[in-house]
Structure 1
Amino acid sequence: MDSSTSALAAAIGGRVRLKRQARGWTLDRLADAAGVSRRMLVNVEQGAANPSVGTLLRISDALGIGLPALVDSPQPKQVTVTPSGEGAALWTSAGGGRGVLVAGTESPDVVELWDWTMVSGDRLDSEAHAAGTKELLQVRTGSLTVAVGGEEHVLTAGDAISFPGDVAHSYANHGNAPAVFSLAVFEPGVGSSPHQEGTDA
């Protein structure tokens, strides 16, 4: 990991640990609630891992805080400005693609705003998010193939799509030029699921 990635991983790990401890949860309880291995959770808390977006979503959902709370400054603000280039790069590809979380709201109704660049050949397969999740995407440059529930949609510059995020979906760049797109994700009721307050059993 480069220095900026390491710093982000350390910040995320510290926030996961603080939120877990504030709930009085053990590592095992959070791992069970999030559906991730204890080893992965330990690595995340120690800042030693560069977890996938899916893993971070599972952890933040289990903690009832939403993904933006893991990467944003912990003190709540009415207005938050993310200067250009300072968003949290939570996905990167070998070819230089990046998925950057540039803004987000707090739970319970979490909205995330992403800035994505996928180079030729990039692909991201996303598991189904929490029930009721919605996604809105607009391609700014290039061409992007969005698959939702097994149906593919090819979008070019200016095209937009809305779809349920609570089914498996993917984004892929089959073109020769980079695809740049904005993505908004709405995840309602984060932290209100019954399993959040379940027992240790």
Structure 2
Amino acid sequence: MSNKVRSPESRSDVLAFVSENLRRLRHQTGMSQTALAQASGISRRMIVNLEGGDTNISLSSLDRLAEALGASFVALVSDPNAQSKRIDAVAWRGQACESQAVLLGSVPAQREAQLWAWSLGEGDRYEAQPDPMGWHEMVVVTQGCLLIELQEGPVTVKAGDYVIYSSAQPYAYRNVFAGVTKFIRNVVA
């Protein structure tokens, strides 16, 4: 299953703002597309396509671009004209039509804190890339049952329960149960 941000026709997702924000942040730092490609490890072609609003990209690649620009993930994906901390943008869609991750909002922390609403359709999976050291996730399941694959082994979290772990490791979310699983995810660094 893909961990790519998909660009639906409605453009009601984070890609609606990535193009504008990427170009603006790159110009503010004085970086060329080639320099940004070298600093982030993302191909220049991908950067050209993103700035043109014409591609899909993984969440971890967006993180790498933000890091190379000295910006936060939220600064790269949110509406630059928004006056509140509310973002309410779809940042990931799975294979099942019920599967999506919505970045609800963000506030400053030592580095950043993000609040997400996730849903995974039956059988769907999201595979994450490790975050930098010091990043953590707090996940509360509100419906169904979520299997989180961590280095130390799988953790099953039922509705009404929660788990806290370092996200500086490979991990994955899986819905191996009947029906839709919904959960709230807080990312803190």
TM-score range, shorter chain: 0.7 to 0.9
CA distance in 2, matches of 1:165, 1:116: 16
Shift of 1:150: 4.9
Q: Quote the sequence identity (%).
A: 28
Q: Tell whether the 8 Å contact from 2:109 to 2:188 is kept in structure 1 after alignment.
A: no
Q: Secondary structure at the match of 1:174?
A: coil
Aligned to 2:69: 63
Give CA-to-partner distance per residue, 1:11-64, whole Å, 9 cap, x none: 211101110111011112211222211111111111101212111111112212
Aligned to 1:88: 89
Aligned to 1:47: 53
Shift of 1:8: 4.2
Q: Tell whether the 8 Å contact from 2:100 to 2:118 is kept in structure 1 after alignment.
A: yes
Aligned to 1:101: 103
Aligned to 1:172: 174
Q: Tell whether the 8 Å contact from 1:66 to 1:107 is kept in structure 2 after alignment.
A: no
RMSD value over aligned CA atoms?
2.0
CA distance in 1, matches of 2:108, 2:40: 19
Change (3 A) 1:73 1:168: same
Q: Secondary structure at the match of 1:138?
A: strand
CA distance in 1, matches of 2:46, 2:178: 35
CA distance in 2, matches of 1:186, 1:64: 17
* AA of the residue aligned to 1:43: N
Aligned to 1:74: 80
Q: Secondary structure at the match of 2:188?
A: strand
Gaps of 5+ in 1: 188-201
Q: Secondary structure at the match of 1:2?
A: coil
TM-score normalised per structure 1: 0.83
Q: Tell whether the 8 Å contact from 2:89 to 2:102 is kept in structure 1 after alignment.
A: yes
Aligned to 1:134: 136
Shift of 1:142: 0.4
Aligned to 1:153: 155
CA distance in 1, matches of 2:160, 2:172: 19
Change (3 A) 1:115 1:6: closer
* AA of the residue aligned to 1:153: V
- Larger mean CA deviation between 158-167 and 63-72 belongs to 63-72
Aligned to 2:23: 17
Aligned to 2:3: none
CA distance in 2, matches of 1:57, 1:118: 22
Aligned to 2:38: 32
CA distance in 1, matches of 2:82, 2:71: 12
Give CA-to-partner distance per residue, 1:138-178, whole Å, 9 cap, x none: 10000110011151001110111111111111111001111
CA distance in 2, matches of 1:150, 1:4: 40
